[in-house]
Amino acid sequence: FDVGVHCVSGARAFLGDRIRIRDSYTGSVKNKDVDKNGFCVLENDQRRVAWLEWGFERSYRNRFRAWGDTFCIEADFFFSKSPLKETFIKVSHSNSENSFSVALEPQNQFSSMLDSFYFATEDETERTYLLNEVLAQSSWVEKISRYNEAEVHD
């Protein structure tokens, strides 16, 4: 998994880990273990649903949108943005024209990843947290990529 992992991570942040896969498709590059495109529908115990879609060759639009009963949250270039690119999160009320935006500080995400790795090597609590997060994330990515291979779905 390369592209879809960001979507899965975002969905887990909103839905938690008590989620079920309702449908999934993953297209991959021939003879490589990398996803080229795909989609996934996840649902949690409260019947909240995440519809995820990812793929290459889409004009590098990594957009995030979350709809709820009363608000919609969206942002363009949400993941792996340039350290020079400022990202705004737009929050809109579902029943009116009212909205507001919140600016996120520009960030070099590769540098942040290396910082996190360094801090994890120095701090056992952080190391344990990140290890558990990596294991949980990889488990969900594996389940999603293998979903269509299974004969019976819950």
pLDDT digit string, tens, across residues 56-104: 766 556 777 888 778 888 887 766 566 677 788 899 987 778 899 988 7
Query: Hey, is 66 helix, strand or coil?
Result: strand
Q: What is the pLDDT of residues 135-149, one digit of tens each?
A: 888 888 888 888 766
Residue 79 pLDDT: 63
Residue 151 pLDDT: 46
Q: For residue 74, which of 94, 88, 61, 84 has the smallest C-alpha distance?
A: 88
Q: Could you tell me the pTM of the whole model?
A: 0.68
Query: Hey, is 123 helix, strand or coil?
Result: coil
